[in-house]
Amino acid sequence: MNQDTICAIATAQGGAIGSIRVSGPEAISITSRIFKPGKSNRKFNEQKPYTLTFGRIYNGKEIIDEVLVSLFRSPHSYTGEDCTEITCHGSSYILQQVMQLLIKNGCRMAQPGEYTQRAFLNGKMDLSQAEAVADLIASSSAATHRLAMSQMRGGFSKELTDLRGKLLDFTSMVELELDFSEEDVEFADRQALRQLADEIEEVISRLVNSFNVGNAIKNGVPVAIIGETNAGKSTLLNVLLNEDKAIVSDIHGTTRDVIEDTVNMGGITFRFIDTAGIRETNDMIENLGIERTFQKLDQAEIVLWIVDATDANSQIIQLSEQILPRCEGKHLIVVFNKAEIIHKTQKDSLRTFFQQNFLQEHTDMIFISAKQKLHTDELEKMLVNAAHLPNITQNDIIVTNVRHYEALTKALEAIHRVQEGLDVQISGDFLSQDIREVIFHISDIAGEVTNDMVLQNIFRNFCIGK
Ligand SMILES: Nc1nc2c(c(=O)[nH]1)N(C=O)[C@@H](CNc1ccc(C(=O)N[C@@H](CCC(=O)O)C(=O)O)cc1)CN2
Ligand SMILES: Nc1nc2c(ncn2[C@@H]2O[C@H](COP(=O)(O)OP(=O)(O)OP(=O)(O)O)[C@@H](O)[C@H]2O)c(=O)[nH]1
């Protein structure tokens, strides 16, 4: 299927050593045209797989570099094709020269993700494993690494493949019944099918539900910072992020757009979402921002509600109607900011007010000064406690990929129809249709029925050389 032999630089710029990967039917012959092994009696194309050969890359008579070359023979390589790897000195000039020589001798530049795409097309891995390769390269913490590693090693595709196999057996029995419809026979034991459907429903529900945790680990626990204009949201965000990201000014409504950034605190990645201040306004652009604030609030797991302590009462009363109903199921932290300029008696009355009106599960309050960084460490601890993520291991199966989540959600809907259908003794042809749909969505995750556009999109997001 892949007649082209492709090449790409696989290493980042600036290292002492650089590596070029060649893959395809001509990989070994093209490499041997530009590479002469050190000991002249050895031939590169007789090199044993998984060994290194020392030698030189020549452009005509000129030596480009002294290199080490490795060799893999189809199907035993990353792509499943014949492959070579040329390891030279890390000069971008040398790497470019070697690339040009390879191209002059019949290679073509690889597209982003093309090696992994070939690995997928040659059956070395399924699509969810290929997607995990990209996650693995992007992983920046122990948790994201563990998730990507578990998925790359076959994580949930194995479990899904087993279930899909059982479903296929069943649906072929149901479909066989259809061929004998005159005789009113039942090859597929409905009770056993119902048991299988329940089992599958449980597995898929678990995977669908794991996405919240998976998403929080991969993209950060979403924390929305909301409150009235000028309460100090941007100032606090800058403190939390330890850098000057959001624009701070004393003109009301400075933050019109939603700013997002992630930061690691206590081993947990948080994704802070600064939002436009909420107030009644006729400014069109600002109103759009406020609309978006509410959308972001819905996505958040933790809500930091910043209240200007010097002007708290009116804000609380005005906003509690808008905000509180939207915080159900979320952890709400009411942050009284600018606390350094209010009196102790004011604090006490605010605390009493809070305790009388907000005391419920998953609600905290704190007095801080964002400007003077007073009690902001305590706020960080509060956040870490609010974000109780489970400890995950490489054996935990957690969905992190939106594409998988969507396919699983559709599979879950279809399996519910199968369960309902069995309960009301639906006819075989409808039943098999619903089962086929479950199979279809499960197969989508492994990439067996995935359409070309989606495939292209997935691999285009890889880096070159992978
Ligand atoms: N130099 C180099 N390092 C690398 C890679 C590479 O391509 N080149 N990889 C690229 O991502 C990763 C390793 N991935 C690989 C995966 C499979 C095979 C391979 O030869 N598989 C054979 C043998 C399997 C076995 O013995 O179990 C096969 O599948 O038949 C090679 C590399 C990370 N490090
Ligand atoms: N005294 C005092 N002033 C503060 C504190 N935090 C912020 N401010 C000031 O309050 C003003 C508004 O701060 P911002 O951080 O821009 O407020 P915001 O909530 O992001 O405002 P919008 O972008 O308009 O929604 C600025 O002048 C800040 O310097 C604080 O803890 N104490």
Ligand 2 atom having least distance to the Cα of 340 = 32
Of 64-73, 101-110, 258-267, 347-356, which range is least confident? Answer: 258-267
pLDDT tens digit sequence for 321-366: 777 788 888 899 999 999 999 999 988 988 888 887 766 678 889 9
Res. 163: pLDDT tops 90:
no
369 or 460, higher pLDDT: 369
Can you list the domains of the chain with their CATH numbers? Answer: 6-110 (3.30.1360.120), 132-210+398-450 (1.20.120.430), 219-387 (3.40.50.300)
The pLDDT score that the predictor gives to residue 318 is 60
CA distances from 423 to 189, 190, 416, 428, 431 (A): 13, 10, 11, 13, 11
Widest Cα–Cα separation across the chain: 92
Nearest CA to ligand 2 atom 7: 232
ipTM given for this complex: 0.69
Is-contact 167 200, C-beta < 8 A? yes
Model pLDDT for residues 82-102, shown as the tens digit of each residue: 999 999 999 999 999 999 999
Whether the CB of 310 sits within 6 Å of ligand 2: no
Predicted pLDDT at 462: 81
Cα of first residue to Cα of last residue in the chain, in angstroms, is 19
pTM over 0.80: no
Total residue length of the chain: 466
Residue 248 has a pLDDT of 52
Q: What is the dihedral of CA 119, 123, 124, 127, to 10 degrees?
A: 70
What pLDDT sits at residue 281? Answer: 56
Q: What is the pLDDT of residue 320?
A: 72
Pocket test for ligand 2, best of 225, 226, 234 (most atoms within 8 A of CB): 234
The answer to whether residues 415 and 197 touch, using CB atoms and an 8 Å cutoff, is: yes
Average pLDDT for the chain: 86
> Is the distance from the beta carbon of residue 229 to the nearest atom of ligand 2 less than 6 Å?
yes
Above 80 in pLDDT, residue 180?
A: no
CA nearest ligand 1 atom 25, residue: 76
Residues with CB under 6 A from ligand 1: 72, 75-78, 85, 124
Ligand 2 nearest atom to the CA of residue 374, by list position? 31
